[in-house]
Structure formats: C-alpha cells, structure tokens
Amino acid sequence: MNSNLPPLPLTDGCLLIDNSMLEGLVTCPSITEFSKLHTRIGAATKPSLDFGTIIHAALEYRYKNAKDKPMTATQIAEQGQIITDFFDKNPVDEFEHRNVNFALEVINRYNRRWQVEPFNVLIDTKGQVMCEVPLAIELFTTQYNSSPLKVIFTGKIDLPVEWDSKITIIDNKTSSMFFGPQRFLDEQRWSNQYRGYCWAFEKATGKTVEAFCINGICTKQPPMKPKQGIDQWWNEWMVRDIVHLALTPDWRKEWFDSTTMLVDQFLWYYEKGYFPPLGKFTRACENYGGCQYRDVCSQPPEKRTEILNGFLYKQNTWSPLH
Ligand code: SF4
C-alpha cells in the first residue's frame, strides 16, 4: 500500500475530471495516480501526440476561417504556415515519417477530400465559429471525507455543427488505424468520450445533441504503390462515421451513471491510499506501443516514486481547458 499520495488536486474546492482521467482509471488505476495525482508523464516527445496537436490546430484554422465553405488560396497558405511554424519549434527525428511534409500532405488531402462540407458550423453568441470549445460542467456532488465535494466534468469539443438539421458533435481523431479504417470506426463508436462531449454540450447550451461524428484522419504512411492508386488510397483512409444517439435512447443516463460511479471509484482508491497496477491483469502495459509508465511499474514499489520524479518523466501540464 502507498499511503504517501499527493493531496487531492482541487480547483476552487472542486474536483475537475476529464476523459483522459476516466480512461486512465479504467485502463489501469496506476495511470491515473501517476498522471493526475503525481502529475508526471513521459518526458520523451511522442510524434503521434505532436502530430495530433498540429492537425487539430490546422483544422481549427480551417473551420474558424473558411467555416463550412471551401478554403481560399490565401487560407490554404496560412494553414500551411501554421504547420511549418509548428515543426520549426518542434522538430522530429530524421526517420520519423510524421514530419512537416507529411503533415502538409495530410492536411492538403483532407482539404481536398472534404472540400465542400455537408454541414453548417455553429456560431456562438459573440459571432464566432464554435470550434475547439472548452467546457466545464458541474457533474454531481459526492461525499469525500464526510463532506460534500463538487465534481466538474471538463473537455474540449472539436466542432459542434448542424448536419441535416441535427446538432452533431464532430471529433477529429488522428490515427494510424492499425487494422484498417472500418475496424477503427467500429472501435471508436463505442467510446464514451464522444457521449461525454454530447452530454456536456447539451448542458452548456440547452440544445439537444442528436449525433456525434468521428472524423478519422489517417497518420499512417501510404504504401509506395497502392493498388487502388494514391488518390483513392487517401480517400479510403480519411473516414467519417455518424452515430445517431436516438438508436441508444438511454445514452445520457448510461454515461452519467458510469461516469459518476468511476469518480466514486477514484475517491475510494484515494481514501484507501492505493491505485493498483491493474494493467498487469488486462495486458494494458504493452497495448498500443506500450504504456508510458512501464519504467516505473517494472521497478519494486519502493523505487517507483524516485523513477517517476526522475528525468524519464516531466510535469503534466495538459488540461482540456487551455
Ligand atoms: S505499466 Fe502497466 S501497470 Fe503500470 S501504469 Fe501502465 S498499464 Fe498500469
């Protein structure tokens, strides 16, 4: 047992939670302990994360400026400059394919694939396009140390739109889609992350969300000579899938009950003073290229704090609110 956990991270007396915390808790409670309580994450740059960040920024530029219309030549040039500037500040290894040229190729392919959008962007009360919208919504009040504790659900919504007269939450997902586009979409559509964004958007705006859309953007290097030709290859790996929430009418209650239960589970682990390394039961340690905390968990428990505070890890400053 580890009774030397850091203080519970509270903001104005409230516990802020987000999807990454919930996902970490379900995958392996130790991930939540290391990333949220000790606020330590792997120090090595992750090309996949950097690549996702810049593609999100490029899409934000597109939808805030071109809205749902095709981009102008000036906008395309400015979008490209955002990408070039990012890689100047965040260079990648010589052999990393997710470099500046690949990012420019991906975004050019994306702009061509989805040149004319089938939806209308939403405009907020200040006349701005709703894009990369940070949200912090009160989830519930639970009991902690025999006192009430307010829990706030936080997140950032990529692009809420009106699609066929239905409010639809679009989430941009960069992925190498290991097992192909269809398998990627089949896996993603179950994710509670999207339902959480739909729930939060409804609470923030009072509008009913009727669907979410996974906007899959491939980060895998194309083959040298794809059988179907390079243009068709890119088209097949830039995929979208709309999930209509009316098909699962209980989604709000199910998401809310699951999420509040998980928060109580988090606090239960915290009160016990122990976030067990359950990833060793589920083989999460080796999933998707390996958990970033393997260097910690491979050590005896008494050495783990030292490793976590060492050069292999850095401060976790990520928040969906900025
Ligand atoms: S290495 Fe395994 S046990 Fe350790 S935090 Fe990651 S998933 Fe959990």
Q: Answer whether 83 contacts ligand 1 (Cβ < 6 A).
A: no
66 ligand 1 Cβ < 6 A = no
Burial 59-92 (b: 16+ CB within 10 A, else e): bbbbbebbebeebeeebbeebbebbeebbeeeeb
Substitution site in 280, 281, 298, 316 for ligand 1 pocket (most atoms within 8 Å of beta carbon): 280
The protein residue with its alpha carbon nearest to ligand 1, atom 4, reads 297
Give the residue, by CA position, lying nearest to ligand 1 atom 1: 294
CA angle 315–319–322, rounded 5-degree value? 120
The answer to whether the CB of 171 falls within 8 A of the CB of 203 is: no
CA of 298 to the centre of ligand 1 (A): 9
- Residues 109, 107: Cα–Cα separation, whole Å: 5
Q: Where are the alpha helices (H) located in the chain, listed in sequence order? A: 19-27, 29-32, 47-65, 73-89, 100-113, 181-188, 192-205, 230-237, 251-272, 279-282, 294-297, 301-308
Q: How far, in Å, from the CA of 76 to the mean position of ligand 1? A: 42
Helix (H) or strand (E) holding 120, with range, is strand 120-121
* Tens-binned pLDDT, residue by residue, of the chain (322 aa): 456 799 999 999 999 999 999 999 999 999 999 999 999 999 887 777 789 999 999 999 999 999 999 999 999 999 999 999 999 999 888 888 899 999 999 999 999 999 999 999 999 999 999 999 999 999 999 999 889 999 999 999 999 999 999 999 999 999 887 788 899 999 999 999 999 999 999 999 999 999 999 999 999 899 988 989 999 999 999 999 999 999 999 999 999 999 999 999 999 999 999 999 999 998 899 887 789 999 999 999 889 999 999 999 999 887 777 6
In this structure, the residue with its CA closest to atom 8 of ligand 1 is 279
Residue 293 near ligand 1, beta carbon < 6 Å: yes
Q: Pick the atom of ligand 1 nearest to 285's CA.
A: 2
**Residue 156 CA, ligand 1 centroid: distance in Å:** 26
Give yes or no for residue 177 CB within 6 A of ligand 1.
no
